[in-house]
Structure 1
């Protein structure tokens, strides 16, 4: 495919502004001139952050969006996305208003999209070993668990730090996602990856440094991991069924089906024979053991083959290239 010329982009920043009065004005001040519009979203904030921004910020690029009720970070970002789409913006960059994300990094997130290298970019705080050393141990462990679950449910095996909220997306890709069907609270960033995976969009990690200021994170790992595990299990099953049994049927599909049947059959047969052996007091014969073990081994090998295919089956060509037409940039 021919190399495309970089897109002339109208860039917008979406800032969820919930309990961030101490930092949000400094975040806005540091946003560079390449940004055309800034949407600060007051998600029914008890600090009235939207009014605070209107009264204390003179930047003409700023537009405050008010949610009548609190919808969570996802609901706030979606409100900002809708406003940016309505105003004809091309790339929407989401930056938190708490000062943990450096606005100076914004060009790093936009350039891969401008040059047709990615449809969606997101931050990754785990590129640098020295940066990882400064992270709280519980946060590090929680992100590792959530990252592994997200790899399975989204199909993006090469990405990490799925809850990182520093992101950028092109309107052509965003318009393919049902915004009404996105998770509204802490599962929002992960749900975006799941939805993008279903669209076969190319996602790229952008190295960034973790900054921990004086605010307390509302993301409690011990509270969200059980909820996330349930949602990830559902999304994983849905993705595998849709990708390998409905949208496509390949050797990987055969490996998956027969791998599950063989492992399930071998485990069931082995369990029944083991119970019978315990109750009767007779040791199972070597033939019985082989009849149970062989399907399990073969099934496990087939599932490994499926997993290897799934890991290699990540999207490689951005949708911005595949769907390029006169309306791609608007």
Structure 2
């Protein structure tokens, strides 16, 4: 890994995983720096093949460059390793495609600062405002939500939301181990099974302005099968450990 180096000035770190987000990353970082300077941030350049790395270097943005593409799970885990190494108390995941509105960072961080939650999910489905994703994806999200409800007796509406904040317990846990492929539902499942305090708060998400999602129809089918199996295996493994 290549670290850009930074001075810690906050107890809250914004982790921004970025893979080929050259068209978006400058806007995202500048929005954070100008509108929310009270938070530290780090961009995880996940082996991008476009000009993402060049932009990060030229603009002097705080970032970590992965020598190869680790995938979303590996990139986020790298962010948590950085947060652990620097001693942050709270970490927030913010996607590098611009869909997560930083105006809601304070909302999802505050319950952790107030010691009311360990894990806070920014959910687009609580108030059902803003960009709601495609019909196909919403069906998949409802299925995974129902699966977690049946297996754990805990209802989480937006199980695929990557907009979330966690406390130091999860910073340390995720720095050591984090799901690799499409990790959001699996990470939530892990938090539920650990019997931690999980809170789901309403946010309004934005539609991606530029670039394209890496999840096509074929990957969506793979996603559903893999995550379903992983969730079931995770539930069984926790049952065996008890």
TM-score range, shorter chain: 0.7 to 0.9
- The structure whose Rg is larger is 1
* Matching residue of 2:163: 166
Q: Which has the higher contact order (CA 8 A, sep 6+)?
A: 2
* Matching residue of 1:73: 72
- Give TM-score scaled by structure 1 length: 0.64
5 Å-filtered alignment, 1:223-262, equals 223-242=222-241, 246=242
What is the alpha-carbon distance in structure 1 between the residues aligned to residue 106 and residue 156 of structure 2?
20
Q: How large is the Cα RMSD of the aligned pairs?
A: 2.0
Query: 3-state DSSP class of the match of 1:30?
Result: helix
Q: Which residue of the other structure, out of 181, 186, 201, is the alignment partner of 1:185?
A: 181
What is the alpha-carbon distance in structure 1 between the residues aligned to residue 153 and residue 199 of structure 2?
10
* Matching residue of 1:147: 145
More helix, by proportion: 1
Contact kept? 1:41, 1:50, Cα under 8 Å: no
Aligned residues: 226
Shift of 1:185: 2.1
5+ residue gaps, structure 1:
1-8, 247-330
Contact kept? 2:84, 2:175, Cα under 8 Å: no
Which range moved further: 230-239 or 107-116? Answer: 230-239
Going from structure 1 to structure 2, the CA distance change for 1:179 and 1:129 (only over 3 Å counts) comes to: closer
* Matching residue of 1:52: 55
What is the alpha-carbon distance in structure 2 between the residues aligned to residue 181 and residue 193 of structure 1?
13
Aligned pair 1:204/2:207, yes or no? no
Going from structure 1 to structure 2, the CA distance change for 1:12 and 1:122 (only over 3 Å counts) comes to: same
* Matching residue of 2:4: none
What is the alpha-carbon distance in structure 1 between the residues aligned to residue 211 and residue 148 of structure 2?
26
5+ residue gaps, structure 2:
1-9
What is the alpha-carbon distance in structure 2 between the residues aligned to residue 128 and residue 41 of structure 1?
31
Query: 3-state DSSP class of the match of 2:103?
Result: helix
